[in-house]
């Protein structure tokens, strides 16, 4: 269909002004990103009455989905002042918003249940397609995209906020340099940095004439040079880095001028252990921060913990068990009296645990904040968490982009990888991707083979 063509469906809906490529949105798109109505430039957007009904159901929830539902409903209500939604109302960033109130279940094949809201949205897409509209079905639900494609509807994920995971910034690189440059580096002489190095990017310098002759450095934006690591000899809480990436991670965690650190890696690569070790060192020994705050998403999309039994502390204790395991190893590797020692850290106020959903609205000054399993957060949720950091705080995000529990996120669209892409050029940020499992030989083989 040509961009300037007009369509007027035969059922009486006033879609005469619907032109060009149009986007039919699933409810989960709006629950994931409350500003999604602004994500399609000057294209027309279509919602069905089923989407409005689902927004109305979710608006009562106290989590991120509920807040997004309420925000979208308010935005749609404000648009009503500009005309009739059935006929299309102009959107602030171009295009129009149309609301379809009729049902089109007769367009579904017999194999699809017309009582399911997602199928009724697909039916609306089939109706529009049959009327000559160039319609694209947009959903965060993989299965819904598969069904749309099987029905002959062009189906896409919401592209805003996604990154190319295969090309994601790793936080370090290898540079081949003359042999004498490595020797000079060991004497404390910084090297000029290539123009494409990011701030705080780790560098493995390798001598051209002797590949085994290497040195580790990090790019400092203020000097424009690769300088030796400042904390290479540091052993926070007795923990020794075991590989190249862990040494870069330790440098980023130890440096006070870096306020935000992200660490990506599979199970056993040491992300959480390193963050906790440096946090204990900074809080208990250096006293650079008031305490460590550790948080994890309770459930995908930041749901409340009310469904868990017991008091809030008891609920968090069961959910934070992986954190306690790491603390036990740090305070007592022999695990003889680790339980008492870990409890002391909490009793002394050195560590606080909190659900991500309860961080919203708080101001958190001078804290060492660790957000574990951050790959289960949406970009908006990560923004909410980072924006809570007060003066003098440091935020560490850890996670594994291959272990995402949120059904509407993947390696390219989760909040953790989004941060890596958006922050990589900022001088107060550092990132490292950890590749090698150090938990055990068995764990390493499982990560590699399974």
The residue extents of the domains of the chain are 21-156, 236-449
Residue 184 to residue 173: CA distance in whole angstroms: 20
Res. 15 pLDDT band, cuts 50 70 90: low
Checking if the pLDDT of 36 tops 70, the result is yes
Q: What class is the 236-449 domain?
A: alpha beta
pLDDT digits (tens, 9 = 90+) for 64-95: 889 999 999 999 999 999 999 999 999 998 89
Residue 172 to residue 391: CA distance in whole angstroms: 28
Checking if the pLDDT of 11 tops 70, the result is no
Share of the chain above pLDDT 90, in %: 66
What is the structure's pLDDT at 2?
Answer: 39
Q: Do domains 21-156 and 236-449 have the same CATH topology?
A: yes
Give the distance, in angstroms, between the CA of residue 447 and the centroid of all CA atoms in the same chain: 22
Structural contact between residues 161 and 379, judged by C-beta atoms closer than 8 angstroms: yes
131: closest CA among 271, 29, 299, 15?
A: 15
Res. 317 pLDDT band, cuts 50 70 90: low
Burial class (CB in 10 A: 0-12, 13-18, 19+), 72: buried
Q: Is the pTM of this model over 0.85?
A: no
Residue 27 to residue 408: CA distance in whole angstroms: 12
pLDDT digits (tens, 9 = 90+) for 373-399: 999 998 988 998 999 999 999 999 999
Q: Which fold has domain 21-156?
A: Rossmann fold (3.40.50)
What is the structure's pLDDT at 159?
Answer: 83
Residue 127 to residue 225: CA distance in whole angstroms: 61
Q: Which of 8-22, 221-235, 370-384 has the lowest mean pLDDT?
A: 8-22
122: closest CA among 98, 141, 94?
A: 141
The average confidence (pLDDT) of the chain is 88
């Amino acid at each position: 269909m040509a961009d300037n063509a007009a369509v007027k469906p035969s059922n009486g809906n006033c879609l005469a002004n619907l032109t060009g490529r149009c986007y039919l949105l699933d409810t989960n798109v709006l629950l994931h990103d409350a500003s999604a109505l602004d994500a399609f430039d000057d294209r027309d957007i279509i919602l069905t009455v089923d989407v409005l009904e689902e927004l109305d159901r979710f608006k009562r929830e106290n989590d991120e989905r509920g807040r997004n539902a309420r925000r979208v409903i308010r935005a749609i209500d404000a648009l009503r002042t500009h005309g009739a939604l059935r006929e299309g109302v102009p959107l602030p960033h171009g295009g129009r918003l149309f609301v379809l109130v009729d049902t089109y279940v007769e367009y579904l094949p017999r194999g699809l249940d017309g009582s399911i809201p997602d199928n009724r949205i697909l039916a609306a897409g089939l109706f529009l397609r049959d009327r000559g509209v160039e319609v694209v079905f947009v959903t965060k639900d993989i299965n819904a995209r598969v069904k749309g494609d099987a029905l002959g509807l062009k189906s896409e994920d919401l592209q805003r906020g996604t990154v190319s995971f295969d090309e994601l910034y790793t936080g370090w690189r290898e540079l081949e340099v003359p042999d004498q440059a490595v020797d000079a580096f060991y004497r404390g002489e910084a090297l000029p940095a290539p123009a494409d190095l990011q701030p705080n990017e780790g560098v493995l310098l390798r001598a051209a004439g002797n590949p085994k002759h290497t040195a580790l450095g990090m790019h400092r934006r203020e000097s424009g040079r690769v300088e030796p690591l400042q904390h290479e000899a540091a052993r926070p809480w007795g923990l020794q880095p075991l590989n190249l990436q862990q040494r870069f991670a330790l440098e980023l965690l130890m440096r006070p001028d870096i306020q935000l650190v992200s660490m990506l890696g599979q199970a056993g690569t040491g992300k959480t252990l390193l963050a906790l070790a440096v946090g204990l060192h900074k809080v208990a020994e250096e006293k650079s921060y008031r305490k460590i705050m550790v948080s994890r998403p309770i459930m995908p999309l930041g749901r409340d913990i009310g469904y868990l039994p017991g008091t809030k502390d008891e609920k968090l204790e069961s959910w934070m068990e992986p954190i306690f395991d790491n603390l036990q190893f740090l305070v007592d590797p022999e695990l003889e009296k680790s339980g008492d020692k870990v409890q002391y850290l909490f009793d002394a106020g050195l560590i606080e645990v909190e659900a991500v959903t309860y961080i919203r609205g708080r101001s958190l000054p001078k804290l060492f904040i660790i957000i574990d399993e951050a790959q289960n957060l949406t970009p908006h949720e990560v923004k909410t968490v980072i924006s809570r950091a007060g003066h003098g705080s440091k935020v560490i995000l850890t996670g594994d982009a291959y272990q995402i529990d949120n059904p509407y996120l993947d390696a390219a669209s989760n909040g953790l990888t989004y941060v890596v892409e958006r922050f990589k050029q900022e001088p107060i940020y550092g990132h490292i991707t950890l590749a090698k499992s150090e938990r055990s030989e068995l764990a390493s083989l499982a990560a590699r083979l399974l």
